Structure 1
Amino acid sequence: MATDPRPTPTHEPRTEPTDAFRYSMSSDETACEAVCNAVATVEGCSVLDLEPIAETVDTDSLDALFSPANRDERYHLTLRYAGYEVAITGDEVSVLSVS
């Protein structure tokens, strides 16, 4: 009897809540700009009214990880920014209120 050589996952796959605000990154927008724009849209304010994103995450690394050449489903990152949980997958930013 053959056994499956793949490891068994030890955690449940993450699923996005259905009430998350979803924002699509444009091709000329950096990941940091997209995160700020998405949160500002949810907040109903200007991105200038938000705390600097550089206080939360290394902006160069975030932009490099989600550069236009790397925007596919292989990459997923979740962070807390401006009181929200923000998930980035491919070219989409999801914003969810933190309870």
Structure 2
Amino acid sequence: MAMSASTSQSAVEPDDSVSMAVVRAVSSAADRPVLELPPLYEAIDPDALDALFDGHRTAGRIEFRYAGFRVTVRADRTVSVSPVE
């Protein structure tokens, strides 16, 4: 679901990891193949990110920068990306 021309938001699929959803969301927003993006671990620990949002958390979010984008992951497992200006 697009929020504006510069920000996009998507829900993490039930069988998908949050870290993979982040990479796919940034890939889509950047219009670049996943394999052309830098490794996610250069921005954040993917295992820790997955563990943080793998439970039944009802509140909270984390924000970080990755590949020229500000990424926000919320407790409801939605991922938002917007270009860093």
**Same fold per superposition (TM over 0.5):** yes
**How many angstroms apart in 2 are the aligned matches of 1:71 and 1:24?**
15
**Could you tell me the percent identity over the aligned residues?**
34
Q: What are the ranges of 5 or more consecutive residues in structure 2 without an aligned counterpart?
A: none
How big is each residue's C-alpha offset from its partner over 1:4-54, in whole Å with a ceiling of 9 and x where there is no partner?
xxxxxxxxxxxxxx5320111001111110100000011112211100001
- SS of 2:62's partner is strand
Alignment-derived partner of residue 45 in structure 2: 58
Alignment-derived partner of residue 65 in structure 2: 80
Specify whether residues 83 and 65 from structure 1 end up closer, same or farther in structure 2 by C-alpha distance, changes over 3 A only. Answer: same
Q: What are the ranges of 5 or more consecutive residues in structure 1 without an aligned counterpart?
A: 1-17
Alignment-derived partner of residue 79 in structure 2: 93
Residues matched between the structures, number: 80
Alignment-derived partner of residue 26 in structure 1: 13
Point out the structure with max Rg over C-alpha: 1
Runs (4+) of structure 1 moved beyond 4 Å? none
Whichever residue aligns with residue 33 of structure 1, its letter is M
Whichever residue aligns with residue 83 of structure 1, its letter is G
- SS of 2:44's partner is coil
User: Normalization by structure 1: what TM-score?
Assistant: 0.74
How big is each residue's C-alpha offset from its partner over 1:42-68, in whole Å with a ceiling of 9 and x where there is no partner?
11122111000011111111000011x
**How many angstroms apart in 2 are the aligned matches of 1:93 and 1:70?**
16
In the TM superposition, what is the alpha-carbon distance from 1:70 to its structure 2 partner? Answer: 3.1
